[in-house]
Structure 1
Amino acid sequence: MMKEMKVATPEGTKSFPLWSRSSLRLRIVVMICFAVFAQGLMTTDFNMAIVCMVNHTATVNDSVGVSETETGGKSCPKDDVSTQTSSSSGNLQWSNKEQSWIFSSFYVGGLLSVLACAFGLANRFGLSRVIVVGAIVSVVGSFLTPLAAEHGGVVFTLIVRFIMGSGQGVMLPCAAAMVTRWFPVTERSTACAIYTAGNQLSQIAAMFFSAQLCQTTFLNGWPSIFYTFGIVGAVFCILWLFIVSDSPDDCQSISEEEKIYISNNRTSSPTNPSVPWKAMLTSTVVLSTYSCTFAYAFVWVALITYLPLYFHTVMKMNLTSNGIMSALPFVAMLISKIVMGLIADLLKKKTSISVNAITRVSNTFASFACGACMLGLAFLDCSQRALAVALFCLGMWSMSGYIPGHFTSLVSIAPPYSAVVNSLSRTVAQIASMIAPFIVAAITHKRLASEWQIVFILLAAILFVSGLFFLICGSASVEEWAQVKPIKPVAEELRFESLASIE
């Protein structure tokens, strides 16, 4: 077993603060955050839009309009709907099964592009190019979605969402690889917290603004959601092309001082390392990290996909309340993840607490606290809306522990193979994302509270099991099979020091 390790700055290395106006890596991580945000908008828009696209009263086995739920006969009246306009009443008659197919098709497309990344797509064409091409694909798909839904039906909508997923799937593997290239080990939890905050920002914006756009007459209501978010994606693509480079070595505008600081505090890596597949795929560290990846993705997709429908059909909320309440858990997560990432990196720099200890504790907190919240939600009914929203917020808040937890582990355990490790992680996440809508739809085919009780217990079980696995086997130390020497010499003034700093 590897020795427990902690971070120290290489002797003689001059610090170059991340939080400064001249820090180029800060601009890079903000742009990565914008990338995740733009892609997140074009991922989540459909989840809220489906509430006002589909005529739920005409959907087989849909329980909308039922005044009693399976909660002991308690009356659950809907919110006042007087503020809703006719534009929020859907005219598409898609069954629950058809909706789940459309939801899942997005992640099937993402799976294919993630596999392409795992087998060298990003290395061949460059990280920044792959990200922007993926975003362009998503932008085009976003503009085509209303046309496909209204005139092409389920099949054409499914195809468009599949193509959009293929564009979105390259985002996180490439983003994680860029963090490895641009950030010293002591800043990676902070960097992960910043760029993944784009997820929460996109959820907040998508949930709130989608609900408002659904109720307007602008561009006939719900189609305006896809056009608006497509424009945001187009703006991102333009900015990305002018600002971002794959690494400090490829950047023309970075200062020599910052380049040297990054070089001396990140991990050495060969030009074209041979991937030790057997060691990687049999590593308990890698497998425990992937188990948390699966749990996070399954719970995340289940919630962002069905939370608006849950609030609409079980909690009987109108669109305005739905948009606000669906956004609140992601506000909580956004705040907590930034704080947790900063605290984790501060502990690494200022204390003798090992990186592994910080990673395990953070991840354990995320898994078990969120699991406890899901378990609590299983026993609530529509007469306890405020408590349900509070538990959703607390659950998403606690999931921020995954950032200094297994997310940091992913970019730390095998720096030379970061793109491969993260691509395989995204493959696991895409598989979880694909099956989550099917499983939730199959369980909640009548949209009753008793069915959601089963869903929440399932989510809790997945979180508990994965959290225990990582607590026993997880690590943020560089694995022995990943400790390789550079193939090509690096210029003397830009000499790499290994993560030796981890003792």
Structure 2
Amino acid sequence: MSFESSSEDPMDYLKTKDSEKEPLLGGKVAEAPAGFGSRHVLAFMAFLGFFNVYCLRVNLSVALVAMVNSTNNDPSSVNSTECKEDIPANTTSTNTGEFNWDSNTQGLVLGAFFYGYIITQIPGGWLAEVFGGKKLFGFGVLCTAILTLLTPLAARWNLYVFVALRVIEGIGEGVTFPAMNAMWGKWAPLWERSKLLSFTYSGAQLGTVFSMPISGILCKSDFLGGWPSVFYLFGVIGCVWFVVWMLVVHDTPAQHPRISQEEKDYIETSVGTRQKLKTPWLSIWTSPAVFAICAAHFANNWGFYTMLTCLPTYMKKILHFDVQQDGFLSALPYLVCWMCQTISGQLADYIRKNQYLTTANTRKVVNSCGLLLPAILLCCVQFAGCNHAAVVAIVTFAVGLGGFCMGGFNCNHIDIASNFSGTLMGITNMFATIPGFLGPAVVGWLTSHEDTRAKWQIVFYISAAIYVTGCILFNVFARGEEQEWNIPEVSVLVYKGNKINERDRSESSQNSISSRIQSAQ
């Protein structure tokens, strides 16, 4: 690179598109060290962390079917009889649960978690960037696990105590995604970014796959304790994970006592050694690139959360499966989602590393697969009629293919602002949490007096429309290059024979830019 004219802006290099420049720290990033490294240990432990997070989050979706008295839960509700004749008689059941909660009350219970979850999104990202994500993530999971152990007591005590406990669970768990994103901002090398993040967050889907059928089995088993055992089992697992996490994980490569020097150098020459920087709040809130991620994140979560919290109810009331089958069938979409998330991360990094597409276009293409394909499939549910196999297959792939978004908007926070990726995740996940309580409320409102396929098809149409809107907004406004406000201020940069006095992200970055200018003289 050469600076031939004193009128040339030395920052132009940092502003060029990602397809036209080398990594920000200059020079070629070192080859990845062979073998299983500390970053892979972090990925595996974080994977297990999100596995626990979603076990703790979704077990209520299945347990609620067993908790509620379906023979007397809503006298005004007319349950669908449209598809009963198409399923063997021994697969249907009525449930005489402990609680006489109508559809609206169940929607309140399912959505309560997200009222707390939304509160700690932005604080979680900011705190992780300032104080480190290890403790924040760990204690967030521990808090949720302990409260999960108290769930049966709270539910039997009082409905509003139960709802309050779910809100507090959401507050504890709300820090997890922003904290983890902040950690990967310090740990994820440039060309491993998508695969490490997609593997980490795919733990959430595998947790759902594990939690739903196990919850169904536990709910049906009086010997194992019935529905309360669901909360006891997953609460204990979360507490055990916390102990291991605190022992083996560290906030940064520089703080890790067992990382090899080769791996440490490999990571730090790719992402830098981070300073504690002042958060550019105005630039973040006015950035079109951040708005694009918010739109895609909201759209993806609308469909995902609506299905996550309400799919067991749909399986029971419309397709008339019993609670144990309900758990297994409700888990199928998340098994497909887990596979799609894993594939999307590998695919995105392969495309970027080989420069088939720019980072921005890679994110847009992969993200479009994760939003448009589910939208099309949800619109097709009505054509399956009462064909249970067809309906299950369509819904499974409609939810599962949303996993491709992991290689799209979900990695884009670190692309555009790795220094503030935790804060960005907090902001976008805050908006994306709204579907967590609004989606079940809409389902409850639509189906409270008439639980039919026609009413549920409206639910699917709403989700499809939001998917398409989010896809369009992301494709218009998304960016793949690092944003200028992510780069710490360069106070003075003089060249053409003059002294260079600069302040940048790291010593290696400073030396790299200095050597480039000196070689151009």
TM-score, normalising length: structure 1: 0.90
Map 1:39-438; keep pairs closer than 5 Å.
39-60=53-74, 66=79, 68-69=81-82, 76=85, 79-81=88-90, 89-118=96-125, 120-150=126-156, 152-266=157-271, 269=274, 271-381=275-385, 383-438=386-441
**Partner-residue secondary structure (3-state), 1:437:** helix
CA drift at 1:272: 3.1
Q: What does the per-residue CA deviation read over 1:106-164, in whole Å, with 9 as the maximum and x for residues that have no partner?
A: 1111112223225x3324543111111111211111110011112x1311111111111
2:48 to 30, 34, 45: 34
Q: Residue type of the partner of 2:45? A: M
Please name the residue that 2:494 is paired with.
none
Computed over aligned residues only, the root mean square deviation of the Cα atoms, in angstroms, reads 2.6
**Partner-residue secondary structure (3-state), 1:412:** helix
Larger radius of gyration: 2
**Partner-residue secondary structure (3-state), 1:453:** helix
**Partner-residue secondary structure (3-state), 1:162:** helix
Q: Residue type of the partner of 2:61? A: N
CA drift at 1:302: 0.5
Q: What does the per-residue CA deviation read over 1:358-391, in whole Å, with 9 as the maximum and x for residues that have no partner?
A: 111111111111111111124443x221111111
Matches of 1:82 and 1:474 in 2, distance apart? 47
Q: Contact 2:91–2:322 (CA<8 Å) still a contact in 1?
A: no
Q: 1:277 to 1:116 in 2, by over 3 A?
A: closer
**Partner-residue secondary structure (3-state), 1:273:** coil
- Structure 2: runs of 5 or more not aligned: 1-11, 491-502, 517-521
CA drift at 1:81: 3.9
CA drift at 1:417: 1.6
More divergent stretch after superposition (449-458 vs 338-347): 338-347
Matches of 1:161 and 1:495 in 2, distance apart? 51
Q: Contact 1:67–1:76 (CA<8 Å) still a contact in 2?
A: no
Matches of 2:471 and 2:504 in 1, distance apart? 40
**Partner-residue secondary structure (3-state), 1:275:** coil
CA drift at 1:275: 2.5
Matches of 1:251 and 1:495 in 2, distance apart? 24
Matches of 2:75 and 2:411 in 1, distance apart? 43
Q: 1:155 to 1:4 in 2, by over 3 A?
A: same
Matches of 1:81 and 1:144 in 2, distance apart? 34
Q: What does the per-residue CA deviation read over 1:293-329, in whole Å, with 9 as the maximum and x for residues that have no partner?
A: 1111211110010000000001111223212211111
Matches of 2:200 and 2:213 in 1, distance apart? 21
Matches of 1:80 and 1:168 in 2, distance apart? 41
Map 1:450-469; keep pairs closer than 5 Å.
450-469=454-473
Q: Residue type of the partner of 1:413? A: I
Q: 1:82 to 1:104 in 2, by over 3 A?
A: closer
CA drift at 1:41: 0.4
Q: Residue type of the partner of 2:57? A: T
Q: Contact 1:102–1:158 (CA<8 Å) still a contact in 2?
A: yes
TM-score, normalising length: structure 2: 0.87
Matches of 1:75 and 1:32 in 2, distance apart? 43
CA drift at 1:170: 0.6
Matches of 1:391 and 1:42 in 2, distance apart? 27
Q: 1:495 to 1:155 in 2, by over 3 A?
A: farther
Identity, % of aligned positions: 25
Q: Contact 2:86–2:387 (CA<8 Å) still a contact in 1?
A: no
Q: 1:496 to 1:97 in 2, by over 3 A?
A: farther
Q: Residue type of the partner of 2:81? A: E
**Partner-residue secondary structure (3-state), 2:296:** helix
CA drift at 1:485: 4.9
Matches of 2:296 and 2:255 in 1, distance apart? 33
CA drift at 1:96: 1.5
Q: Residue type of the partner of 2:72? A: A
Q: Contact 2:185–2:419 (CA<8 Å) still a contact in 1?
A: no
1:475 to 470, 473, 479: 479
CA drift at 1:220: 2.7
Q: Contact 2:272–2:506 (CA<8 Å) still a contact in 1?
A: no
Q: 1:279 to 1:493 in 2, by over 3 A?
A: closer
Q: Residue type of the partner of 2:163? A: L
Q: 1:431 to 1:38 in 2, by over 3 A?
A: same
Q: Contact 1:267–1:497 (CA<8 Å) still a contact in 2?
A: no
Q: Residue type of the partner of 1:159? A: A
Q: 1:114 to 1:218 in 2, by over 3 A?
A: farther
Q: Contact 2:253–2:264 (CA<8 Å) still a contact in 1?
A: yes
**Partner-residue secondary structure (3-state), 1:56:** coil
**Partner-residue secondary structure (3-state), 2:183:** helix
What is the number of equivalent residue pairs in this alignment?
486
